[in-house]
Structure 1
Amino acid sequence: MSAEADPFLALDVSTDDYATTAAHDQKAGTDATLAAVEAEDDSDAEREKAGAARAARTRYTEEDFLAQKASYTARIDEGSIWRQLLRFEPPFRPSETFRSTVNAAPGDLDNSVSSTTAEPGAAKTKLDKKHHQTIQAAVSELYFLERYTAVQEIIIWAKEHFEKDKKWDAQVKKWEAKVESKMQAA
């Protein structure tokens, strides 16, 4: 198509300028390639060192695997996640009703304190993510096992001992509503 046919599609590039530009681009590309190859040669030694360190760290021999396989036992929690709450600060101290609901043996728990109520004027503890997840897991497990009175006791303990934030408060209200509806249906 010629420049006279459509002035919008016409490009004004002289062939001499194009040839010079193309030659310059080709030389620049060659220089860049050589520089990249030289840099790659320098980093090969570093890459080999890193690979050797990673192999030493992740090497797992057949003997190691068989030893671990022989000693492996699956962890099965059937209604016992709540026991982790006993190690919290402040610790969860279940009542006799709770113990009978979850079928806890008398020797399983510390009998010195059996109250879940907070002391008047005691400061509430800030709840971190790990504790929040543990409480949620305990509540979920006991809810699944239909131990609704035990779930209520954990909820009351958590409300009395831990500071509220929006997410925590919404979660506790959700638990309370679910447990209430299940207990009324039963």
Structure 2
Amino acid sequence: MAEYADGLFAIEVDTDDYAKTAAGDTPSVPRTFQSEADFQTQKSSYAAKVDVGDNYHQLLKAVPLLGQDGQPNLEDGEATAGTAQPKLSKKDLQLLGYAVGELYYDKEYAKIIELCSQVADVCQVDAKTLGSLRKWAGRCEGRVRRSDGRGS
């Protein structure tokens, strides 16, 4: 047994080798050692992401069950009965936050309340997300009440 343990568990791995292996097959080259040709190639392929402010519509495209007017946005006459509630991915959750922020900036509080209720009803969300939805909806309900009080 001692021979087995010595042979199997006596493997030494250098931390630098482990980091290179964990990162991938090709070792990354620090930018300080990058050649001018490699830099120009990388520079020419770079494109900045431009946010044009349509996160709400992107969310509706990413999660088709979140339709406008409280109705699911389904194609080909699919029925909502029997379909499982979709679980939002991390990207969809980020997009939801961006969309709420965009709507809040535009002072479209009623739309935020509607969106939060749709997400809570239609999608499968965890407790943390549900808490955020309630917080956003509550804040917007307060804004709507304040604006109604001033307008009367």
TM-score for both structures, normalised by structure 2: 0.57
Partner SS for 1:54:
coil
For residue 54 of structure 1, the aligned residue among 15, 27, 30 is 27
In structure 1, runs of 5+ residues without a counterpart are 1-42, 96-113
Aligned-pair distance for 1:68?
4.3
Query: CA distance change for structure 1 residues 77 and 91 in 2, over 3 Å: closer, same or farther?
Result: farther
- Say whether the 8 Å CA contact 1:79–1:142 is kept in structure 2: no
Aligned-residue offset at 1:124: 1.9
Q: What are the within-5 Å matches in structure 2 for residues 28-177 of structure 1? A: 54=27, 60-69=34-43, 72-95=46-69, 115-116=71-72, 119=80, 122-177=83-138
User: 1:54 is matched by which residue type in structure 2?
Assistant: P
Give CA-to-partner distance per residue, 1:137-158, whole Å, 9 cap, x none: 2112221232223322321221
Measured on the aligned residues, the alpha-carbon RMSD in Å equals 3.5
**Runs (4+) of structure 1 moved beyond 4 Å?**
55-59, 70-73
Instruction: Name the larger-Rg structure.
Output: 1
- Please report how far the alpha carbon of residue 80 of structure 1 lies from its aligned counterpart in structure 2 after TM superposition: 1.1
Q: Which runs of 5 or more residues in structure 2 are unaligned?
A: 1-13, 21-25, 74-78, 148-152
Q: TM-score when scaled to structure 1?
A: 0.49
- Mapped to 2, the partners of 1:55 and 1:122 lie a distance apart of 45
Counterpart AA for 1:76: V
Which whole-Å CA distance do the structure 1 matches of 2:90 and 2:28 have between them? 34
Q: How far apart are the structure 1 equivalents of 2:28 and 2:100? A: 43
Answer whether contact 1:79 1:145 (CA < 8 A) is retained: no
8 Å Cα contact 2:103/2:112 also seen in 1: yes
Shift of 1:174: 0.1
Identity of aligned residues (%): 28
